[in-house]
Amino acid sequence: MNNNEYHMYVYDMPYATRRALCGILDINNTWEELAGVYMCFDVGSVQRLGQAILRNQSPTDELLTLWGTQNHTVLELFILLSQMQHYQAMRVLKDYVDPKYRQLIREGEENFSRLFRKPEAENLVDLSKNDDAALENNMKYGAHNFNQPKNLREPQKVLFRANEAFAQPTIPKRAVDVGNGHIARRLSDESNGNIGENSSPMISYSELEVATGNWDKKKLLGKGGFGTVYKGLWNLTDVAVKRLEVQKEGDDSEEIWRTHREQSLRELKYLNSRRHDNILPLYGFSIGGPYDCLVYQYMPNGSLEDRLLCRDPNKPPLSWLQRHNIATGTARGLQFLHRVGSKPLVHGDIKSANILLDSNLEPKIGDFGLAREGPLEQYTHVKVSRVHGTRPYLPDEFLRGKKFSTKVDTFSFGIVLFELATGLRAYDDSRHFKFLKDEVEAAVDDNFSELQDVKAGPDSTLVFPRLIELGKKCVASKAKDRPEMVDALGHLVAATHIREPPVSLNERNPFQTDREQDFLPALAALGISQSTGQVVADIPLISALGIKSQGSTSSSD
């Protein structure tokens, strides 16, 4: 392994390793010391975790699940076990930490055995005084100093911090100095920051039972392989509650359960860290009850797929203006995911079913269970071991070559644009061309109008050809030929203005939404006039999208 391969998050720990660790820490309830003293969970939190035994579950496993939601690493866990002097548990994890830290096991065991050969009374410290200064003066804490007596592992009077908030455990500030300053600093910094101000709260399972009317079937919004989604009322707020409930049947049931739980934790992680107007808001989560749950903002207009297929007869078809706004908002959310942070976050499962619509038909990207970090800027892609997602929305280089990049999302977005333009399914076994991409590409330019969704009404603003044209760019066979999502967003925003007649600065463009008003400075940076919508500069980004100077567009528009 190289250094990057040793950087493993707790939630990525192999199943066999995690199970072995749980078996060790469950014995004699050793996990309680880890949770209360070293991870600093409060008394109530530890008691709730302990109830896992009543459900024939492992308390250690639920502890690791909860701690893992805060992006802690296996190395951090290894260090805490070193502080506990739990060398048996450390040996289980040693293959997943850098070799330079493995000496903590050997040196710790040697020093620990030396302690019993030559007990030194002067090293004893009276913890009952509860004096940190005395501790510091009498004991040197470090990676290579384990000469404290055994009773230091049992500070009974300081087991828990009763005022700590649940779901905000910390690493003690006196982090072990493991001979690498940045690790110790990171442990201390993360203890101060916890999960940060953007953290979603932990919600008790009983609260969600009340919110959903004890999981009333009348409140059922949807059901899938992951479990069920219910509408609920929590804190006088409409919410959607996703309850993870994979059926535990068959030889591989445990692995399936674990996979779905990991996806839920990944979704929790990314929805906590990537907040945006076009990303589905996560209100909270519940871990430790009979089922794990995620609580989202309720989307009264359902999914884009439902609206395009007119599944609710009480809701009118989407107009062309609404479809353009949905495409623009989705692009805005995706480019945010791709551009925020040191590495891009690739959603990996963009499709109309995962684009949800709020009361104003503003799109929100949901279902981050398959999201992964993409390559650093200097690389075009990363290789993955398994392919996940929905086949009609995925490009060949990912399906066959397992090459994962932001261009996977771009391709998926292109298929969504085709759905918006045609109102057709991404895959339909009854069509001659089963895949919508093939259906669109097979159409001759002159016959594109035959694909136009008549349910949307007259297309006076020429949204249909723009959606088709941008969609074709996004589904290019070669990843390098597809635009980045920020460029696709620029194209959609520019299209808002180019086809409209000139207006004065005091006159509002009827095609322009409130959100696009905020985008005018960016349009200026792209070389697009705010008053006329004409392209007034040859910007490479605009040229690459087929938009020419003097306000004209590519011949395919």
The pair of structure tokens assigned to 325 is 């706004």
The pair of structure tokens assigned to 307 is 């609206």
For CATH 1.10.510.10, list the domain ranges present in the chain: 304-544
Is the predicted pLDDT of residue 143 greater than 50, yes or no?
no
On whether the CB atoms of residues 63 and 49 are closer than 8 A, the answer is yes
- Most confident segment among 147-161, 483-497, 539-553: 483-497
Instruction: Provide the pLDDT confidence category of residue 166 given band limits of 50, 70 and 90.
Output: very low
The pLDDT score that the predictor gives to residue 241 is 96
Alpha-carbon span 434 to 449, nearest angstrom: 19
The pLDDT score that the predictor gives to residue 394 is 93
Question: For 190-231, how does the pLDDT look when each residue is reduced to its tens digit (9 = 90+)?
Answer: 333 333 344 678 899 999 999 999 999 999 998 866 679 999
3-state DSSP assignment of residue 502? coil
Question: For 351-369, how does the pLDDT look when each residue is reduced to its tens digit (9 = 90+)?
Answer: 999 999 999 999 999 988 8
The pLDDT score that the predictor gives to residue 256 is 67
- Residue 301 contacts by C-beta under 8 Å, 6 or more apart in sequence? 307, 315, 356, 357, 358, 359, 361
The CATH number of domain 304-544, selected from 3.20.20.150, 1.10.510.10, 3.10.270.10, 1.20.1630.10: 1.10.510.10
The pLDDT score that the predictor gives to residue 55 is 84
Beta-bridged to residue 237, according to DSSP, are 234
Model's pTM, two decimal places? 0.58
Fold of 205-297: Phosphorylase Kinase; domain 1 (3.30.200)
Instruction: Provide the pLDDT confidence category of residue 130 given band limits of 50, 70 and 90.
Output: very low
- Residue 232 contacts by C-beta under 8 Å, 6 or more apart in sequence? 208, 211, 212, 213, 219, 238, 239, 240, 241, 295
Q: Is 349 a catalytic residue?
A: yes
- Residue 343 contacts by C-beta under 8 Å, 6 or more apart in sequence? 373, 374, 375, 376
- Segment among 70-84, 255-269, 475-489 with least mean pLDDT: 255-269
Give the percent of the chain with pLDDT over 90: 37
Is the predicted pLDDT of residue 457 greater than 50, yes or no?
yes
Report, as an integer, the average pLDDT of 470-489: 95
Question: For 26-38, how does the pLDDT look when each residue is reduced to its tens digit (9 = 90+)?
Answer: 988 889 989 988 8
For CATH 1.10.533.10, list the domain ranges present in the chain: 3-193
Is the predicted pLDDT of residue 310 greater than 80, yes or no?
yes
The CATH number of domain 3-193, selected from 1.10.533.10, 2.120.10.30, 3.40.50.150, 2.10.70.10: 1.10.533.10
The pair of structure tokens assigned to 528 is 């697009």
- Most confident segment among 9-23, 156-170, 278-292, 464-478: 464-478
Q: What is the largest CA-CA distance in the chain?
A: 93
DSSP states of 144-166 as a string? TB--S-GGGG--GGGS--TTSPT
Options 349, 367, 453, 459, the catalytic residue: 349
DSSP states of 119-143 as a string? --GGG---GGG--HHHHHHH---BT
Would the annotation count 269 as a binding residue?
no
Report, as an integer, the average pLDDT of 59-79: 88
For CATH 3.30.200.20, list the domain ranges present in the chain: 205-297
Is the predicted pLDDT of residue 110 greater than 90, yes or no?
no
Instruction: Provide the pLDDT confidence category of residue 383 given band limits of 50, 70 and 90.
Output: low
On whether the CB atoms of residues 285 and 234 are closer than 8 A, the answer is no
Pick the closest to residue 133 from 174, 170, 172, 175 (CA basis): 174
HSE value, Cβ hemisphere, 13 Å, CA-based, for 254? 5
Pick the closest to residue 243 from 255, 260, 259 (CA basis): 260
